[in-house]
Amino acid sequence: MSRVSINRGWWAIMSGSERWYVVKRPNAQCQILTEDELEKIQTTSPSETVEHWGPFTSEGEAIARRVGLIRSGKCQPS
């Protein structure tokens, strides 16, 4: 039986998967970031993120959500 760590960073490295987020910036544009990138921005510059959606299991899933957010008017295209 394998042991699962609560630390998501370790689990992501061991499993080869990353978590992806769509992050809305103050200029209303949305950017796709990994979980580590989002955590770094939230720690160093919390005012740089207005809203975020996720986690998504793949970058493609995050891209699809970003397209939907742009179409619904919640994000501006970059």
The tens-digit pLDDT sequence of the chain (78 residues) is 434 334 444 444 445 579 999 999 999 999 999 999 999 999 999 999 999 999 999 999 999 999 999 999 999 988
Domain ranges of the chain: 20-71
From edge to edge, which strands make up the β-sheet containing 20-24? 30-34, 20-24, 51-56
Alpha helix (H) ranges present in the chain? Answer: 8-15, 35-44, 59-71
Cis previous bond, 55, omega within 30: yes
pLDDT at 78: 81
pLDDT at 22: 98
